[in-house]
Amino acid sequence: MRKSQLELKGKTVLVTAGPTQEPLDPIRFISNRSSGKMGYAVALAALKFGAKVILISGPTHLSSPQGVNLVRIVTARELREAVLKHFPKADVVVAAAAVADYRPESKAARKIRKEGRRELTIRLVRNPDILRELGKTKGDKILVGFAAETGQMITNAREKLKKKNLDLIVANDVTKKGSGFEVDTNIVSIISRDGKIISLPKLSKTRVAERILREAVKIIKNTERTT
């Protein structure tokens, strides 16, 4: 193993992955498109870099990675609770979860029937922005976010990095073939606080995960050098 691959030894990496599901009734939910593959790849890469890994995951079809502390959640509010619980231990947080920004205002106790209804209106309320909350108390932890965009990718991602007080943001244009949901590859740009943009070609999610962690390691080393 290359020495660089153990550069997160002694560090704890917290990863969020997969979608959240927001229930409408006992059998229906609203959710986001996400297979969880990018987040799971980050968790495995962090393990390979020698870190202790906590993976907080929404419902996915992926098998639990060996050696990772896997915490399963369903809703955005459960994700928030789990993240806040584990955040104090983390040195690096990679938020790859596709969090539903809204949830149905209430969950019906029984299945919503169509009998006698020509239309159905669902009222949605805002879910907490978990990463933004972390950004407010991050201290010297490294925060990495994702921005899945459908246009103006760099501008939108930069804005999110600032708004959420992140160290890095990984932006992808999900309209591009080989980028985004369900596939095993991704085409991303990694943007840092100082404005640097690393635009990567189409790579496997494993390689993308390694590149993200390498950038996080660089920031840790710089911080350790100057303190």
The residue ranges that bind ligand CTP (CB under 6 A) are 16, 76, 95, 97, 99, 101, 127, 129-131, 145-148, 160
Catalytic residue among 32, 69, 127, 172: 32
Q: With respect to ligand CTP, which residue has the nearer C-beta, 42 or 68? A: 42
Q: CB–CB of 173/187 below 8 Å?
A: yes
Other Cβ atoms closer than 10 A to 121: 5
Q: How far is the CB of 111 from ligand CTP (least distance, A)?
A: 27
Q: With respect to ligand CTP, which residue has the nearer C-beta, 108 or 124? A: 124
Q: How far is the CB of 78 from ligand CTP (least distance, A)?
A: 12
Q: Would residue 32 show up in a list of annotated catalytic residues for this protein?
A: yes
Q: Say if residue 87 is exposed, middle or buried (CB neighbours under 10 Å; 0-12, 13-18, 19+).
A: middle
Q: With respect to ligand CTP, which residue has the nearer C-beta, 24 or 168? A: 168
Q: How far is the CB of 211 from ligand CTP (least distance, A)?
A: 16
**CA-to-CA separations, 216 to 42, 75, 143, in angstroms, rounded:** 12, 28, 9
For the chain, give the number of residues: 227
Pairwise CA distance, residues 208 & 201, whole Å: 10
One-letter identity of residue 124? L
Residues forming the active site: 32
